[in-house]
Amino acid sequence: MEGYGLFLVLLVSALLLGFLSVLFALIWVFHYREGLSWDGGSAEFNWHPVLIITGFVFIQGIAIIVYRLPWTWKCSKLLIKFIHAGLNTIAMILAIVSLVAVFDFHNAKNIPNMYSLHSWIGLAAVIFYTLQLVLGFAVFLLPFAPVSLRASLMPIHIYSGLLIFATVIATALMGFTEKLIFALKNPAYSTSPPEAIFVNTLGLLILIFGALILWMATRPHWKRPPEQNSKIQQPNGGTPEGTEEESTMTDCSNTDKSDVEFNSEAAARKRNLKLDEVGQRSTM
Amino acid sequence: MEGYGLFLVLLVSALLLGFLSVLFALIWVFHYREGLSWDGGSAEFNWHPVLIITGFVFIQGIAIIVYRLPWTWKCSKLLIKFIHAGLNTIAMILAIVSLVAVFDFHNAKNIPNMYSLHSWIGLAAVIFYTLQLVLGFAVFLLPFAPVSLRASLMPIHIYSGLLIFATVIATALMGFTEKLIFALKNPAYSTSPPEAIFVNTLGLLILIFGALILWMATRPHWKRPPEQNSKIQQPNGGTPEGTEEESTMTDCSNTDKSDVEFNSEAAARKRNLKLDEVGQRSTM
């Protein structure tokens, strides 16, 4: 992998920022607010930021870059697809539970639902995310879609995934703004009490987290190399980007784990040879 | 150009959404608010959304995709760079004037500056945008930077440009949220008066505008083809992406305007031949 050191630095930074964001969300609701419970009160509302930041920001971010982790390139692409889909499913469930918490809180307090721009864009993001997940499952995970359909939908899948992720972060920033204006009355948000500074900082953390994820996800030289042993199944054709047939590997145990090398072409060639061997073994 | 029809549809849609957003901003401040003036009152504040949407959203969006317009591919890259830099400079000036309007309004009304997450991220966006413009001018417009520096900075320039653009849209959405909560008291934002629905819709318009610009800017097959006649100046070397030497053309008049063709490779080859001729003419 070209620039492996830089990739590691960015990955560790993103993980740290992600963990820190979740930690900040927990400190926000436990130290500055009413904690967490499911009683129709403010402590039920508090599940909303905690679950959105944990699931819809952090876990979604990791799901986006899971293909980029070079030590997973020895695993079958199908396995990584399951991990990608699984993480996104967890994120979707947490996002939906977080919406239920807000609607429940609003209904208990007789606060109207769906009046704010935050709620409009946020609900749209959850709906598009669910659609993206269902379509991704049907086209890229189930074995029925033709290669040509996969190839034509892959750029749209990638673009809409990144767009939804960016929109989720924008929506979270709008949510922080709303909550700080509504919750901070005495002292007011405009007087910059500690909670205001703290949550503004949380906003910066998730913005930088998002920027790192988007950088890592859009570097062409950090892309997972095409599945080589698929060529054994289709010996006459190259496999266009995103259209590889499933590997015959189902986990990482078929390859030699001690032999992780990331030194450019030599290592890639060596890896491809190994994958060829694996392909031959598993198709025997 | 591959998919020229779709490109045109998206371009026209983006332009319509952009114009509509500026129109909505004007209707917002003239119909629902106090109009525009420079007197320290609310009408001075109103310059802020109008100039941000006009300059920092719409003009910046057009500046991003100006290289993608296929009818400019016959013009010299230097000319398009000047248009790109010029549009971004206009956007920067409008953004700075819009900040002055807000600071002026806050100071006149004794409202603290820079307390909100919107203001933190917004000011950071203006600062990074200015840095991006100055660095872009020094590296890509002035003739001093070596080709290797241009090549290594180009991916960062593109990524940070798109990131700043997305961040500006996110910040605008936070700004709408703030303004609607502060300005709508009787009836309140939560009761969804016409102004609330109107400005929420404006938020959706700029979000979709941004999504279209980002789609057009990130399709590899809609990229401006490399400047071919630069090879005449450097006959021994290919020119890596983003590192082309300046064309010897200075405007679009040197090529045959009647001969605009966008039909894939044949047209590209034909265009390259013409560019070679132009290069020979202009270096004679």
pLDDT tens for chain A, 284 residues long, are 789 999 999 999 999 999 999 999 999 999 999 999 999 999 999 999 999 999 999 999 999 999 999 999 999 999 999 999 999 999 999 999 999 999 999 999 999 999 999 999 999 999 999 999 999 999 999 999 999 999 999 999 999 999 999 999 999 999 999 999 999 999 999 999 999 999 999 999 999 999 999 999 999 999 999 876 544 344 343 444 444 444 445 567 544 333 333 344 444 444 444 443 333 333 32
CB contact under 8 A, A174 and B174: yes
Q: Pick from B112, B167, B203: which is nearest to A117 by CB? A: B203
Candidates A158, A173, A184, A222: best to mutate against B (most CBs of B within 10 A) is: A173
The C-alpha atoms of residue A42 and residue A49 are separated, in whole angstroms, by 12
Which residues of chain B neighbour A203 with C-beta distances below 8 Å?
Answer: 117, 120-121
Which residues of chain B neighbour A167 with C-beta distances below 8 Å?
Answer: 207
Candidates A109, A115, A164: best to mutate against B (most CBs of B within 10 A) is: A115
Q: Pick from B166, B177, B218: which is nearest to A116 by CB? A: B177
Q: B200 to chain A nearest CA, in Å?
A: 5
- Does A159 lie at the interface with B, CB-CB under 8 angstroms? yes
Count of beta carbons in the 10 Å neighbourhood of residue A34: 14
The C-alpha atoms of residue B93 and residue B51 are separated, in whole angstroms, by 9
CB contact under 8 A, A118 and B177: yes
The single residue listed with the structure tokens 């609701």 is A29
Whether the Cβ atoms of residue A247 and residue A76 lie closer than 8 Å to each other? yes
- Both tokens assigned to B64: 């991003």
Which residues of chain A neighbour B127 with C-beta distances below 8 Å?
Answer: none
Q: Where are the alpha helices (DSSP H) in chain A?
A: 4-27, 42-45, 47-51, 60-65, 77-109, 117-136, 147-183, 194-217, 230-233, 264-283
Residue B8, CA distances (Å) to B11, B12, B68, B109, B274 in order? 5, 6, 11, 47, 25
Count of beta carbons in the 10 Å neighbourhood of residue B168: 27
Taking alpha carbons only, the member of A44, A23, A161, A174 closest to residue A104 is: A44
- Does A155 lie at the interface with B, CB-CB under 8 angstroms? yes
The single residue listed with the structure tokens 């679950």 is A51
The C-alpha atoms of residue A228 and residue B139 are separated, in whole angstroms, by 40
Quick one: angle between helices B194-217 and A117-136, nearest 10?
A: 40
Whether the Cβ atoms of residue B129 and residue B95 lie closer than 8 Å to each other? yes
Which residues of chain A neighbour B160 with C-beta distances below 8 Å?
Answer: none
The residue that leads in pLDDT, B257 or B101, is B101
The C-alpha atoms of residue B59 and residue A200 are separated, in whole angstroms, by 28
What are the extents of the domains in chain A? 4-222, 230-283
Report chain B's terminal Cα–Cα distance, integer Å. Answer: 31
Cβ neighbors of A74 (< 8 A, separation 6 or more) are: A252, A255, A257, A260, A271
Residue B189, CA distances (Å) to A47, A122, A190, B197, B262 in order? 24, 17, 19, 9, 50
Kindly state the average pLDDT of the residues B176-190. Answer: 98
Which residues of chain A neighbour B115 with C-beta distances below 8 Å?
Answer: 189-192, 196
Band of the pLDDT at B46, cuts 50, 70, 90? very high
CB contact under 8 A, B174 and A169: no
Q: B207 to chain A nearest CA, in Å?
A: 9
Output the pLDDT for position A251. Answer: 66
The C-alpha atoms of residue B154 and residue B161 are separated, in whole angstroms, by 10
Cβ neighbors of A126 (< 8 A, separation 6 or more) are: A92, A95, A96, A99
CB contact under 8 A, A215 and B159: yes
CA-angle at B11, arms to B229 and B82, nearest 5°:
40
Using the predicted structure, report yes or no on whether residue B274 has a pLDDT greater than 90: no
For chain A, state the CA radius of gyration.
22
Which residues of chain B neighbour A118 with C-beta distances below 8 Å?
Answer: 177
Output the pLDDT for position B168. Answer: 98
What is the tens place of the pLDDT at every residue in B184-193?
999 999 999 9
- Does A115 lie at the interface with B, CB-CB under 8 angstroms? yes
The C-alpha atoms of residue B146 and residue B140 are separated, in whole angstroms, by 10
Count of beta carbons in the 10 Å neighbourhood of residue A158: 16
Task: List beta partners, residue A188.
Answer: A185
Which residues of chain A neighbour B211 with C-beta distances below 8 Å?
Answer: 163
Band of the pLDDT at B232, cuts 50, 70, 90? very low
What is the tens place of the pLDDT at every residue in B74-116?
999 999 999 999 999 999 999 999 999 999 999 999 999 999 9
CA–centroid distance for B160 within its chain: 12
DSSP H or E run through B277? helix B264-283
The C-alpha atoms of residue A172 and residue A75 are separated, in whole angstroms, by 34
Q: CATH 1.20.120.1770: does it fit domain A4-222?
A: yes
- Both tokens assigned to A166: 């960016």
CB contact under 8 A, B215 and A170: no
Candidates A177, A192, A222: best to mutate against B (most CBs of B within 10 A) is: A177
Which residues of chain A neighbour B120 with C-beta distances below 8 Å?
Answer: 200, 203-204
Whether the Cβ atoms of residue A28 and residue A191 lie closer than 8 Å to each other? no
Kindly state the average pLDDT of the residues B247-259. Answer: 49
Output the pLDDT for position B249. Answer: 53
The C-alpha atoms of residue A154 and residue A167 are separated, in whole angstroms, by 20
Output the pLDDT for position B234. Answer: 41
- In this prediction the ipTM stands at 0.85
- Does A184 lie at the interface with B, CB-CB under 8 angstroms? no
Query: Which residue on chain A is closest to B167 by alpha carbon?
Result: A170
CA–centroid distance for B135 within its chain: 16
Kindly state the average pLDDT of the residues B143-165. Answer: 97
Which residues of chain A neighbour B192 with C-beta distances below 8 Å?
Answer: 112, 115
Output the pLDDT for position B252. Answer: 74
- Both tokens assigned to B233: 């100046």
Which residues of chain A neighbour B214 with C-beta distances below 8 Å?
Answer: 159, 163
- Does B208 lie at the interface with A, CB-CB under 8 angstroms? no
Q: What percent of chain B stands above pLDDT 90?
A: 79
B91 half-sphere exposure, CB direction, 13 A CA radius: 28
Query: Which residue on chain A is closest to B194 by alpha carbon?
Result: A115
Report chain A's terminal Cα–Cα distance, integer Å. Answer: 31
Whether the Cβ atoms of residue B27 and residue B195 lie closer than 8 Å to each other? no
Output the pLDDT for position B156. Answer: 98
B224-261 core/surface letters (b: 16 or more CB in 10 A; e: else): bebbbbbbbeeeeeebeebbbbbbbbeeeebbeeeeee
- Does B166 lie at the interface with A, CB-CB under 8 angstroms? yes
Longest distance between any two alpha carbons in chain B, whole Å: 73
A-B CB pairs within 8 A amount to 102
Query: Which residue on chain A is closest to B182 by alpha carbon?
Result: A181
- What values do phi and psi take at A3, rounded to 5? 70, 40
